[in-house]
């Protein structure tokens, strides 16, 4: 059974750095058909993709948020971490991680098939 | 960025109704589109990928059609468990979501 679980602080202060961890099970972060992506959802708003990472360590970030984000993985621990600097109240949201899957090794298109339950982060002084 | 626009934003329906939600992409995305269902306080749940392929375990009353820039999600006979918010998402270039369609009583 494939599962993902987000963890990290519930409350952070403005200007602080936040690190969230996504712990996966049921698949390997070395699998070349898979990756992990972080998504967030501010209260009452739509979903926004933040960053992703693949098995070959290829990674990318939302253009608007790129300078503040770092994504990394520890395959031995089955974990993907997302670090966000200079947190702002506008970053208050539920943060999800999800598995990216491509149907075959020849496909270049990854969709999100399994999500974690999410972790809510509030930025407040 | 590829923009995804859903319509309507809110849809009022009754149990047993046939419901259709439309999603338009700002440029062609071929068939690289997914539909998700989200209930309050929960993570989105994948319903359909590749525009029309039903995810394993998803009831057959859900179906998806379309390619290029125009897509639809249809629920053939709305059930009580289907009242939720639905999102389309393109994965042709990076990933972007529509703004959501809330299906309510």
- pLDDT for B105 equals 80
- DSSP letter assigned to residue B55: P
Portion of chain A with pLDDT greater than 70, in percent: 99
- For residue A5, list its beta bridge partners: A23
- pLDDT for A62 equals 83
Closest CA to A118 of B44, B22, B43, B61: B43
CA distance B59 to B57: 6
pLDDT in tens, A24-39: 999 999 999 999 999 9
User: At residue A108, does pLDDT exceed 90?
Assistant: no
A112 to chain B, any CB pair closer than 8 A? The answer is yes
pLDDT tier for residue A65 given thresholds of 50, 70 and 90: confident
pLDDT tier for residue A53 given thresholds of 50, 70 and 90: very high
Which of A46, A103, A117 is opposite residue B99, by nearest beta carbon? A46
Cα torsion A69, A75, A78, A83 to 10°: value is -10
Burial class (CB in 10 A: 0-12, 13-18, 19+), A88: exposed
Q: Which residues contact A36 (CB under 8 A, 6 or more apart)?
A: A4, A22, A24, A29, A52, A53, A73, A80, A97, A98, A99, A100
CB B95 within 8 A of CB B2: no
Whole-Å CA distances, A40 to A72, A98, B28, B61, B62: 17, 11, 25, 29, 26
- pLDDT for A84 equals 94
Residue of B nearest to A37 (CA): B95
Cβ-defined contact of B98 to A46 (cutoff 8 Å):
yes
Cβ-defined contact of A96 to B99 (cutoff 8 Å):
no
State the pairing for strand pair B45-49/B33-38: antiparallel
User: At residue A60, does pLDDT exceed 90?
Assistant: no
B96 to chain A, any CB pair closer than 8 A? The answer is yes
Chain centroid offset of residue A34 CA: 14
pLDDT in tens, B35-70: 999 999 999 999 999 999 999 999 999 999 999 999
Cβ-defined contact of B50 to A63 (cutoff 8 Å):
no
């Amino acid at each position: 059974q494939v599962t993902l679980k987000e963890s990290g602080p519930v409350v952070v202060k403005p200007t602080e750095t936040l690190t969230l961890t996504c712990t996966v099970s049921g698949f390997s972060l070395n699998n070349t058909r898979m990756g992990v992506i972080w998504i967030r959802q501010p209260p009452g708003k739509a979903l926004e993709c933040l960053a992703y990472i693949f098995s070959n360590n290829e990674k990318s970030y939302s253009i608007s948020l790129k300078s503040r984000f770092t994504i990394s993985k520890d395959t031995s621990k089955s974990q993907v971490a997302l670090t966000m600097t200079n947190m702002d109240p506008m970053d208050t949201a539920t943060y999800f991680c999800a598995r990216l899957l491509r149907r075959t090794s020849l496909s270049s298109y990854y969709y999100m098939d399994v999500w974690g339950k999410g972790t809510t982060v509030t930025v407040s002084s | 960025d590829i923009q995804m626009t859903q319509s309507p934003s809110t849809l009022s329906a009754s149990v047993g109704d046939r419901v259709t939600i439309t999603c338009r992409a700002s440029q062609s995305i071929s068939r690289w589109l997914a539909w998700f269902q989200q209930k309050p306080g929960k993570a989105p749940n994948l319903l359909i990928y590749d525009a029309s392929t039903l995810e394993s375990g998803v009831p057959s009353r859900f179906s998806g059609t379309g390619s290029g820039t125009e897509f639809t999600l249809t629920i053939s006979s709305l059930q009580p468990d289907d009242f939720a918010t639905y999102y389309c998402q393109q994965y042709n270039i990076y990933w972007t979501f529509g703004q959501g369609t809330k299906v309510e009583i």
